[in-house]
Amino acid sequence: MELYEDGIGLHKVKRDTFLFQPADFNHLERGEIMPEARFIYSFSYDYHHRDLCRLECRQMFQQEEEGKVLFSDVEIDPSISPFLLARFEIITEAKSYDKLLPLIRKQLLRTEGFKVDYLSLEGDPARFEERKQKMKEVGFCIFAAPDFKNPSMVYSICTHEGMWYFGKLKRHDGAWRKHNNKPYSFSNSICMHIGKSLVGIASEGDKSKTLLDACCGAGTILLEGCIGGFNIEGSEINPKTYYGTKKNLLHYQYEPNLYLSDVAQVEKEYDAIIIDLPYNLYSRSTDEITAHIIEAAARMSPRVIIVSIVDISATIEAAGLNVQDYCTVEKRGYSKFARSIWVCER
């Protein structure tokens, strides 16, 4: 961060928001301040996933989204979250669309094969024709030939609370939805959205972290870890379920380590462990089994994310873990069934 005085006041600026001549602020017009946050994230979720999305935000960005928009300096791949629609990296901003265009031209961008997209944030009323016209006008501010089919770079504009932004856009890749058609399913499985979100929560968005899906069942969480490019392994005590998970992983050509084992026998260390606890419906469970699994995870990792359908706070405490964050996820519709997600640390 640097301080920049523009005659109106002091503003914090990030050096790396400039593409050319990082120390040259001359292209800024009076009143046009450079952004403090590097990225704008946009979100989409159903009402019953709102609290889960907020928990994920707190864990990955240390703040919550507001109105499905979040400004942050934290760089997250938008495809790792089921709720992130896009990541917009701010290059420049202005108080009106008309003032934004000359600022884009001043960037002197010469990116061959570029494309311009329009990111509609919550509350932006622009309809298709208006968005198309603006994309065209922004395209004329870039001094290179576009490639709409296989762009080398996607630039974008968006507007939020009266400000207009120009930047680079990375949209969420929906390829993970193919996991809906996995060959082996299991009545105890969590939904794909929760599975994907658990990977983001456990890793805090950092793909270098080592993760274990301790009670992997049909592998819902593992599949999402694999497609997200995470360093994830799985363990499952039941042979039939284990071979079902193997079948699912092979179907998508993922090859993580998978242990046919009680998690307590895995004897490795991980940055975070995810436990979707057995809950006596199709897989046997007792208070002793719950305590056994949580205690094993607490020995192997300083960070344990637990999914349960009953209050397990006493068991968490007895295992030497502290609940750092928490949410409940209701099932869509009238069902009273709810899962709790406990983010625990040693």
- Residue number, 72 or 189, with CB nearest to ligand SAM: 189
| Closest to ligand SAM by CB, 262 or 271 | 262
Q: Whole-number minimum distance, CB 111 to ligand SAM, in Å?
A: 42
Q: Which is nearer to ligand SAM, 40 or 221 (CB)?
A: 221
Closest distance between ligand SAM and the C-beta of residue 267, in Å? 13
Rounded Cα gap, residues 233 and 255, in angstroms: 9
CA–CA–CA angle 75, 78, 80 (5° rounding): 105
51 alpha carbon, distance to own chain's centre: 14
The nearer residue to ligand SAM, 77 or 262, going by C-beta atoms, is: 262
Query: Given the rule CB under 6 A, which residues bind ligand SAM?
Result: 186, 188-190, 214-218, 220-221, 235-238, 241, 262-263, 276, 278, 283, 289, 293
CB of 326 to ligand SAM, least distance (A): 19
Task: Specify the residue, 142 or 190, whose C-beta has the smaller distance to ligand SAM.
Answer: 190
Minimum CB distance to ligand SAM, residue 41 (Å): 27
As beta bridge partners, residue 70 has 41
Identity of residue 75: E
Q: How far is the CB of 48 from ligand SAM (least distance, A)?
A: 18
**Rounded distance between C-alpha atoms, residue 190 and residue 339, angstroms:** 9
Give 263 or 312: the residue with its C-beta nearer to ligand SAM: 263
Nearest distance from C-beta of residue 81 to ligand SAM, angstroms: 18
| Residue nearest ligand SAM by beta-carbon distance | 217
